[in-house]
Amino acid sequence: MGLPPVNGTSCLSLYASTKDLLTQAINFYTNVIGLDLHSEDGEKLYLSNEDNKLAIKLIVDAKLSLNSDEIYEKREKLIKLLNVNDWRSLETTVVLKYTKLNQLISTLKTFKQPVQISPNELYPNEVYTVDPLGNIVGFTATENPLSVIPPVEKFISGENITSTIMSTSVSDRSRQDEGVKLRRNIAIMTSGGDAPGMNANVRAVVRAAIFRGCKAFAIMEGYEGLIRGGPKYIKEMSWHDVRGYLTEGGTNIGTARSKDFRERPGRLKACKHMIEAGIDALIVCGGDGSLTGADLFRSEWPSLIKELKDTNQISDHEFNTYKHLTICGTVGSIDNDMSTTDATIGAYSSLDRICRAIDYIDATANSHSRAFVVEVMGRHCGWLALMAGIATSADYILIPEKPSSSRVWEEQMCDIVNKHRAKGKRKTIVIVAEGAITSDLKPISANDVKDVLVNRLGLDTRVTTLGHVQRGGTAVAYDRILATLQGVEAVKAVLDVTPDTPSPLIAIEENKIVRKPLVEAVRITKSVAEAIQNKDFEKAMSLRDSEFTDHLSNFIAMNSASHNEPTLPKEKRKKIAIINIGAPAGGMNSAVYAFATYCMSRGHTPYAIHNGFAGLARHESVRSMDWLEIEGWNSIGGSEIGTNRQTPEDTDVGMIAHYFEKYQFDGLVIVGGFEAFVSLDQLEKARPMYPAFRIPMVLIPATISNNVPGTEYSLGSDTCLNSLMDYCDVIKLSASATRDRAFVIEVQGGNSGYIATFASLISGAQASYVPEEGIALDQLELDIKSLKEAFSVDRGLSKSGKLILKSTNASKVLTTQVLADIMKSESSGEFDVKTAIPGHVQQGGLPSPIDRTRAARFAIKAVQFIESGSDTLKQFKYALDFPSDDRQLQSTAAVLGIKSSHLRFKSIRQLYDFETEIGKRMPKHIHWAKTRDIADQLVGRTRISRP
């Protein structure tokens, strides 16, 4: 079809059978492709590009062209094969030069033209479509204005591509190599009850699949969509189809429970429709029922596909191509009832709704001295009720895992409430899981609880059933992070697994995304409900993860602080102090509350050192803690006992030692950030000179910067991310409303880029600049170019606002305003740039449920650490020659932190001497570096690698 170049111009002849088709071709090549009509000679027309390097001759000739019916049939066939076969394998293809491929893709889709992209939508190298004459026409940004590519080997799912790869940059080629190792057509489905964060999971799966050169599909309406089939229910998803998903609650692709899928004929239909769409991998986001159905589908797949072949519903080629189905699960459930994972997508968002509601109820309950019974979701799992009980200091909770007889729970609840009231508490909060039962499996309703409180205690009692409010709203920061990281890992998993590999479930342990056997996780989860039904409650508790058991015992201990006899004998009771050091962080008050109430339950005397080491040295600011005085601290932001940044050496180490000796402290809990870390180091080093410091000391990291060595999580960082997420969501709405605006947002964090990185992940920011990398001019230039292209493609579309996050210390020269000015100057008028600085808003108001509950867990672990470490130091308390280099003694001054999938204590000596960049106030190892890569991948940002 192509003629040899003449005077540098390439020519292409295309044939139309009628003048009507000729007119359609002219409209296509001029309006859609953007060529100019230059000359007309009867039934021949000439079109060319701006520099006349490409000429297309349109000729009316019925003998050399297809008629309208043939074109229609061919077009429909190509559309049907769009996601199944590479069009280049079907016939000789003409490829034309086109420099702005992203813009062309957008234009073709606007005009409802079928589009096939190679290697993927994120990094398009070639774009193919079908013109009105039935020709497959391709476009590329390479230098040759016209090339003819012969048919390539047919693409078989799961095998490498054997096609002509055009010239690309090194970075693009590496991405292609990553993608073509195993290309699949990956579908994502949300099933069962909706949960906040499901949209973030869908977005991550779609974009991660496209990034790796795979086709991405969404199954609409869950398993019902698979049964109904067709393009209405099985949709190929593009990069931009999931734009804005991060900020939206529920699930945009729908969910429905399907009775038909429970029967084999329904699964047979689903199998056929998946093959028709060319899908060979399915990721299901749902609860245990949805994931059970997915694994059953996979196990039946060989027999289902064989039946389709035997009944001639699929061809031999389709049978051989789709012999195996790959299944992967991500858990979306607000109940957090899936075993082998610490958290499920949506659980912490639901907990956030509950805690906010109870915080509001708490105020009115206190005003009127009322009791409130709050019913929360949880048919077979009491996680929501338990965690809400800890986070809001509830008086009593009822959960299905720990039932008792009607007489016992009624008497126990009334006894606790009565004693709390006798101590001066004006309000009563009882939380009931909807699945709460007695030991003989009789349901306990919120009204049952109300009647007991009214009839036995005479309390003015109200019932609040939160209902589906718990499911609604956008996802909190944690669920956006969890859903995104699990979605990316799920795509990796379906590319890694083989037909012999058990279906994986993407889970989280402490702070690490892991893969677990899906069947085993579902089996254990179902065993809990069976154990409860069989009244084997001890087994039900044993099947819950250890964290659930810890939280329950912690709640019981804290709840009994004011009235029960201490659990330790008098000779083992201690005097333990707590102090806050550094900037305020969400969860500090929660840690103090949990520390004090747990100490009281054990028989220890808790002391609060007010206003840091400076307050102690200058004003002897030591106060013993009273239960009623700290009641309600769990849900208060800031630091009620005060905090400042001064370390012991900044004030007076000798005076601090004097007061430690005066009050005979047996242990110290420090809550704070890097200044607290340095303070612990100074106290440990001062042990040889000051015997008062020869006590167990533990640091609970609490800082929004999350820069304390020895931990991957600090209290306050989740509260900060939620505040910053809300701020960015609002700013993005403003940017989107104007259609052509970007905001540069300044983020706190000192020399740590943790907050900027994760805020970028949860807000979908186009770029983030952090101190660890700085701002290189070539990277900035590339980011501005990407912004121009993005705004050019998105022009006039909704949800088109862009965010750029910059850590305050990312560059001393390129300040937030300077960065915005540069971007605006280089935008060529494509977009406007504004700045936004949230400042200390990032420290948050009320602490998030995660910071409240983790603070309780950490504080209680810290007290237990002090209890176990006292004997180690006892014999050296007043020794003249203190062996400071003894590792066992060094281990009694430690940082309590999360490392990967473990909660552990680590010696301050080891951390300070070997794992810390003191000058930078940072750990040497940056645990979140890979998250930066994921955040960039999911917005299509290309980073320039450094040696």
Pick left, alpha or beta for residue 330 (phi over 0 → left; psi -120 to 50 → alpha; otherwise beta).
beta
Residues contacting 766, CB < 8 A, separation 6+: 742, 783, 786, 787, 790, 802, 803, 804, 939, 941
Last residue in a domain, options 87, 120, 142: 142
Structure confidence at residue 798 (pLDDT) = 65
Verify that 132 and 88 share a domain, yes or no: yes
Alpha-carbon gap, residue 379 to 136, rounded angstroms: 56
Give domain status of residue 325, yes or no: yes
Helix (H, G, I), strand (E, B) or coil at 833: strand
Alpha-carbon gap, residue 52 to 235, rounded angstroms: 39
Q: How far is CA 20 from CA 42, 43, 61, in A?
A: 14, 12, 12
- Tokens 């949860």 — which residue? 762
**The CATH number of the domain where 831 resides is what?**
3.40.50.460
Whether 740 sits among the annotated catalytic residues: the reply is no
The continuous run of DSSP H or E covering 653 comes out as: helix 653-663
Pairing mode, strands 93-97 and 146-149: antiparallel
Give domain status of residue 921, yes or no: no
Alpha-carbon gap, residue 364 to 341, rounded angstroms: 36
Give domain status of residue 946, yes or no: no
Verify that 589 and 671 share a domain, yes or no: yes
Amino acid identity for residue 788 in this structure: K
How many helices and strands (H and E) does the chain possess? 30, 34
Contact between 178 and 243 under an 8 Å Cβ cutoff? The reply is no
Alpha-carbon gap, residue 282 to 519, rounded angstroms: 16
- Specify the number of domains making up the chain: 5
Structure confidence at residue 181 (pLDDT) = 43
Residues contacting 77, CB < 8 A, separation 6+: none
DSSP string, 362-415: HHHHHHHT-EEEEEE--SS--HHHHHHHHHHT-SEEE-TTS---HHHHHHHHHH
Verify that 649 and 691 share a domain, yes or no: yes
Structure confidence at residue 5 (pLDDT) = 36
Helix (H, G, I), strand (E, B) or coil at 834: strand
Give domain status of residue 13, yes or no: yes
Q: How far is CA 563 from CA 89, 416, 549, 602, in A?
A: 78, 8, 23, 12
Verify that 707 and 839 share a domain, yes or no: no
Alpha-carbon gap, residue 532 to 551, rounded angstroms: 19
Contact between 222 and 191 under an 8 Å Cβ cutoff? The reply is yes
Verify that 575 and 661 share a domain, yes or no: yes
- Tokens 């292609």 — which residue? 176
Give domain status of residue 163, yes or no: no
- Tokens 């998903």 — which residue? 245
Pairing mode, strands 54-60 and 44-48: antiparallel
Closest Cα partner for 707 from 932, 933, 911, 946?
911
The continuous run of DSSP H or E covering 283 comes out as: strand 281-286
Verify that 459 and 481 share a domain, yes or no: no
Verify that 123 and 83 share a domain, yes or no: yes
**The CATH number of the domain where 243 resides is what?**
3.40.50.450
Surface-to-core class of residue 620, CB atoms within 10 Å of its CB (0-12 exposed, 13-18 middle, 19+ buried): middle
Tokens encoding 925: 């190892």
Give domain status of residue 379, yes or no: yes
Q: Considering 241, 335, 794, 936, which one is annotated as catalytic?
A: 335
For helices 383-392 and 849-874, angle between their N-to-C axes, nearest 10 degrees: 70
Closest Cα partner for 393 from 357, 368, 429?
429
- b/e map 291-328, b = 16+ CB within 10 Å: bbbbbbbbebbeebbebbeeeeebeeebeebbebbbbb
Verify that 323 and 363 share a domain, yes or no: no
Give domain status of residue 531, yes or no: no
Alpha-carbon gap, residue 74 to 769, rounded angstroms: 49
Alpha-carbon gap, residue 448 to 757, rounded angstroms: 48
Measured over all CA atoms, what is the biggest interatomic distance in the chain, rounded to whole angstroms?
111
Give domain status of residue 175, yes or no: no
Look up residue 34 and give its DSSP letter.
-
Determine phi and psi for 435, rounding to 5 degrees.
-95, 15
Q: How many other CB atoms are there within 10 angstroms of residue 939's CB atom? A: 22
Point out which residues pair with 187 in neighbouring strands.
217, 282
Contact between 497 and 504 under an 8 Å Cβ cutoff? The reply is yes
pLDDT < 50 regions, the chain: 1-9, 145, 148-181
Degrees, nearest 5: CA angle 50-51-56: 75
Verify that 309 and 365 share a domain, yes or no: no
Tokens encoding 478: 């944690």
Verify that 331 and 218 share a domain, yes or no: yes
Domain enclosing residue 757, as ranges: 720-845+931-937
Long-range contacts of 874-878 (CB under 8 A, 24+ apart): 876/694, 877/691, 877/694, 878/691
Contact between 595 and 896 under an 8 Å Cβ cutoff? The reply is no
Helix (H, G, I), strand (E, B) or coil at 810: coil
Verify that 705 and 761 share a domain, yes or no: no
Q: What is the pLDDT of residues 601-620, one digit of tens each?
A: 999 999 999 999 999 999 99
Q: How far is CA 849 from CA 257, 490, 592, 654, in A?
A: 31, 27, 15, 39
Torsion of CA 670, 672, 675, 681, to 10 degrees: 30
Alpha-carbon gap, residue 944 to 882, rounded angstroms: 53
Structure confidence at residue 147 (pLDDT) = 53
Verify that 192 and 338 share a domain, yes or no: yes
